[in-house]
Structure 1
Amino acid sequence: MTLSNNDQALHNIEEAEGEIINAIAETMDVYGVTPSIGRLYATMYFRDQMTLDEMRDELGLSKPSMSTGVRKLQDIDMVKKVYQRGSRKHVYQAEKDFFNTFIGFFCQMWEREINTNTVAIQRSKDLLQKVIDDEAVSSIIKKDATEKLHQIEGSMQYYEWLNNLVKSIRNEEIYNFIPKHPPQK
């Protein structure tokens, strides 16, 4: 028995979704999540909205696992809770714009890197400057402190550049240099 055109078309759609879901699940480690959480996101990507019960039924994982996965995806701005009037169940929706996903996740990670390291650099500079300014410290130790001070001051150029990159992405200036939709050739 052969499939009707509609049955074949539905099969092809399901197969296409499966390909994308598998690819997204496999690459979600880039965003710091497990393949099962990646599969959850990819499944939600093809649905309008889903409850935890629907996720559990679709993926066959426990409700606590779904809840943990959704929380992780919310933390990285890939899923948001959607208010549904009259419903007591929480409803969630996946971010479908990969540009927004990229901006949200990588800018958040880069800002964390910038903040953590610039605070450490400032603290280190203060400590090294104390060593350099202390007249009772030997010249060899002062030289070592001076070299380390210059080294960490040099690293600030990177964090300033990274901060500018984050700003250009957040305010979308980057699209002037790297358009979302490159010109057709």
Structure 2
Amino acid sequence: MNDLAGLSPEQTEKVSKARERVIDSIGKNMDLYGITLSIGHLYGYMYFNDGPVTLDELSKTMGMSKTSMSTGVRTLLDLKMIDKVWGKGTRKDLFEVVPDWHQNFSDYFSIKWRKAVEGNMNALAKSLAEIAAMKSDYHDDPLLTKLLQSDQEKIEDAIKYYRWLLKLIEAFENGKIFDLIPKET
């Protein structure tokens, strides 16, 4: 973090301590969302860095292997929390944090929720097809028919919820969520 150059040792220590507290907090917060603590710390370090960094620089700063840094960077890229950027005069890949925490939150949950919704909708559709087949095969069994009808209604209610959740995901993806709950400026 070259932005500390020129500060006295005492000033550097105080700024570093304040930053470390925030970086640790970021790591713990991201851990709650299923991102490892070390990747959360990686994002925190990049957040406070003055400009793009290479894997080598990150590895040196954080004391982690280049392989671990590569895995962490790939995760943050997939979550759209950092970008790969071009740097004049360098052949190494450079990475820079996306500093919009609102967008990071939106992107992270959109990615995770969409994946979960798609898996759940597929399971529900498969169960509805199986219920329809059983209703056809056992239409003369009133007890089973009643049970299957009840299950079908419950699954259809679940599908309504997931369709609503898809609308919420879309509101995050297209930014309309911020019309309802504006960002602080």
Q: What interval of TM-score do these two structures reach, taking the shorter chain for normalisation?
A: 0.7 to 0.9
Correspondent of 1:56 among 59, 65, 79: 59
* Cα displacement (A) at 1:11: 3.6
- Over 3 Å off, 4+ runs: 5-12
Equivalent residue number for residue 22 of structure 2: 20
* Cα displacement (A) at 1:8: 4.7
8 Å CA contact 1:24, 1:39 repeated in 2: yes
CA–CA separation in structure 1 for the residues paired with 2:38 and 2:9: 29
Correspondent of 1:69 among 69, 72, 84: 72
Correspondent of 1:35 among 34, 37, 41: 37
For the residue of structure 1 that corresponds to 2:128, the secondary structure is helix
Equivalent residue number for residue 105 of structure 1: 108
Equivalent residue number for residue 147 of structure 2: 144
Q: Give the counterpart letter for 2:39 in structure 1.
A: I
CA deviation digits over 1:4-39, x for unaligned, max 9?
A: x96554443222211111111122113322111111
Q: Give the counterpart letter for 1:108 in structure 2.
A: I
CA–CA separation in structure 2 for the residues paired with 1:7 and 1:87: 31
Equivalent residue number for residue 81 of structure 1: 84
Aligned length: 178
Distance change in 2, residues 1:70/1:128 (3 Å) = same
CA–CA separation in structure 2 for the residues paired with 1:96 and 1:176: 20
8 Å CA contact 1:56, 1:63 repeated in 2: yes
- Root mean square deviation of aligned Cα: 2.0
8 Å CA contact 1:31, 1:105 repeated in 2: no
* Cα displacement (A) at 1:49: 1.0
**TM-score in terms of structure 2 length:** 0.87
Equivalent residue number for residue 157 of structure 1: 160
Identical-pair percentage: 33
**TM-score in terms of structure 1 length:** 0.87
Correspondent of 1:179 among 163, 178, 182: 182
